[in-house]
Amino acid sequence: MAFQAGGQRPAPRPVPEGPEAQAYLRDYARLLDTVTFPSVVLDHRWDVVLANSAFGALFGAVGSHPTAMPGDNFLRFVLFHPDAGTVLGAHESSWCLPMLAHFAAAVERHAQDRGLQAIRRDIAQDPIMEAAYRQGLPHWIRAVGEEAVQHDGAVRPLLHPDPRWGATECRIVAETPKSLEDMGYTKLTLVLREAPRPADAPRAHRRPRRSASHLSVVPAPQT
């Protein structure tokens, strides 16, 4: 479920005010880069505030995109980048739909936020994604339960470009220090699991690049 978003590149994210907050973020960035697993700090729009080198390595092979690079806004990457399915396994059910559910909740909390409204407009530009957001998402949440929507503790498939990992899984751990929380940020770490033995490992089906969205959970509107 990916499509070429027609919106403009996200505006530069605001820098926290005050020298103490900025110094904390600089020091936290150094700490984050000591973490072995992909780790990222996001604001309420999913703009990437900090990311470590492991996060960069996970998404280092994806192609350029004007509005949906993983190091800029992670939600836009999941929803709109045509290469997202080459890294995020079971892209539609394990990543897109949970992220859409979180986005819907964020829009309710921050109805006037311009960044979230811009993402909402890009969703509306695609009929299938709009159908997923308006009609499919509520049915999906009822079917899988609220727990399946949560990030913290979720185990989701990945297709890591490093052959030492390959087709594997990650557990998402949401662990946010109070200082980051006070700034409105959330820290997520993708704890990679050991890849299965070759005899047991599922084949990695890398999806081709796509220029239009596709969502099999919600049928395309009839014309």
- Residue 117 CA to residue 45 CA, distance in Å, equals 10
Q: What is the mean pLDDT of residues 109-131?
A: 94
Q: Is residue 165 packed enough to be buried (19+ CB in 10 Å), middle (13-18) or exposed (0-12)?
A: middle
Report pLDDT digits (tens) over 126-169.
Answer: 898 999 899 889 888 888 877 767 889 999 999 999 999 999 99
Q: Where are the domains positioned within the chain?
A: 19-192
Report pLDDT digits (tens) over 23-49.
Answer: 999 999 999 999 999 999 999 999 999
Q: Which one-letter amino acid corresponds to residue 196? A: P
Provide the pLDDT confidence category of residue 54 given band limits of 50, 70 and 90: very high
19-192, CATH topology level: Beta-Lactamase (3.30.450)
Q: What are phi and psi of 190, to 5 degrees?
A: -95, 100
